[in-house]
C-alpha cells in the first residue's frame, strides 16, 4: 500500500536536546511538507521541499532544520533553539502541478520533559 | 496575518442536521480550496476541494459553496452523523505554486 509513514508516534525530549522526526513516503510524490499543530492554532507550515536537495522555510522555521537527500524522505530536526517544541507534528506529501491534494502521515507527538 | 479565517471554532449539531463551517480568505491569487477532516490522533485527510471557476461542488453529503466576490467558501454537511464528529480544516493555495495555508479548524460534534 502506498502511503506516508511518520515515526515515532510519540517522542519525549529533554530540555536542550535535538531530536529528529522521520517522514518517509512511497507515493512517488515530489513535494513534502512539515506542519506543526497546536490546539486552536490550526496547521502551521515549518518547512517544505518541492524537489530533492532543495527546501524552503515556512512560517515558523526558527528552531527547526530539514534535509531532502532522497525523494522518499524528509526528516525534521527539532533543535534546542526551538523554545516551545511540545506539539503534534504532521508530515505531508503531494504531487506538483495544478491540482493536488496532500497525503498526511499519522503524526508524531513530541513532548518536552 | 491570518490568510484564511475559519469559523466557528466549535460546533454542536443534532444527528440528521446540517453542519455549516465558513472560511474567508485574503489573497485573491488563491485558486485551490480544499477541506480536510481530522480524527483525534490522526493526520488530516482530504475531504473535498473546489476551484474558483465553480460556485458549488457536491460529493455525497458534503458540499462546498464558493463566493468569489466575497472571498468566502463554506462546507455543508447534510444529514450529519455521529461518525462525522471530527475537526475540519479549510485551506487555500495558489495551485501548483505554494503550500497550503490552513484555517485554525472547527471541532464538530454530532450528537444523537
For residue range B52-111, list pLDDT tens digits in order. 899 999 999 999 999 999 999 999 999 999 999 999 999 999 876 789 999 999 999 999
Are B104 and A102 a contacting pair at CB < 8 A?
A: no
Euclidean distance between CA atoms B24 and A82, whole angstroms: 31
pLDDT digits (tens, 9 = 90+) for A8-51: 999 999 988 999 999 999 999 999 999 999 988 899 999 999 99
At B43 the three-state DSSP class reads coil
- How far off is chain A from B100, nearest CA to CA, in Å? 8
Of the partner residues A40, A43, A98, the one whose CB lies closest to the CB of residue B102: A43
Euclidean distance between CA atoms A6 and A106, whole angstroms: 6
Euclidean distance between CA atoms A66 and A55, whole angstroms: 8
Are B102 and A35 a contacting pair at CB < 8 A?
A: yes
- Chain B residues within an 8 Å CB radius of A105: 43
Euclidean distance between CA atoms B10 and B29, whole angstroms: 28
Among chain A residues, the shortest Cα distance to B37 is held by: A104
* Placement of cell 518517509 in the chain: A24
C-alpha cell recorded at residue B51: 476551484
C-alpha cell recorded at residue B86: 471530527
Amino acid at each position: 500500500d502506498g502511503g506516508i509513514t511518520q515515526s515515532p508516534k510519540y517522542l519525549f525530549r529533554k530540555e536542550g536536546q535535538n531530536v529528529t522526526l522521520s517522514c518517509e513516503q512511497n507515493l512517488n510524490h515530489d513535494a513534502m511538507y512539515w506542519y506543526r499543530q497546536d490546539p486552536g492554532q490550526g496547521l502551521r507550515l515549518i518547512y517544505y521541499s518541492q524537489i530533492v536537495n532543495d527546501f524552503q522555510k515556512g512560517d515558523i522555521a526558527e528552531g527547526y532544520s530539514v534535509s531532502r537527500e532522497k525523494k522518499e524522505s524528509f526528516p525534521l530536526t527539532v533543535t534546542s533553539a526551538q523554545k516551545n517544541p511540545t506539539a503534534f507534528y504532521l508530515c505531508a506529501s503531494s504531487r506538483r502541478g495544478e491540482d493536488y491534494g496532500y497525503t498526511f502521515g499519522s503524526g508524531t507527538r513530541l513532548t518536552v520533559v | 496575518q491570518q490568510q484564511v479565517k475559519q469559523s466557528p471554532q466549535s460546533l454542536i449539531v443534532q444527528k440528521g442536521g446540517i453542519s455549516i463551517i465558513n472560511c474567508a480568505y485574503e489573497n485573491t491569487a488563491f485558486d485551490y480550496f480544499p477541506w480536510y477532516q481530522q480524527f483525534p490522533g490522526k493526520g488530516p485527510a482530504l475531504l473535498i476541494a473546489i476551484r474558483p471557476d465553480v460556485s458549488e461542488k457536491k460529493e455525497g453529503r458534503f458540499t462546498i459553496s464558493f463566493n468569489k466576490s466575497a472571498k468566502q467558501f463554506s462546507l455543508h454537511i447534510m444529514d450529519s452523523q455521529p461518525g462525522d464528529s471530527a475537526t475540519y480544516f479549510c485551506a487555500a493555495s495558489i495551485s501548483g505554486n505554494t503550500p497550503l495555508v490552513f484555517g485554525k479548524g472547527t471541532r464538530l460534534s454530532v450528537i444523537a
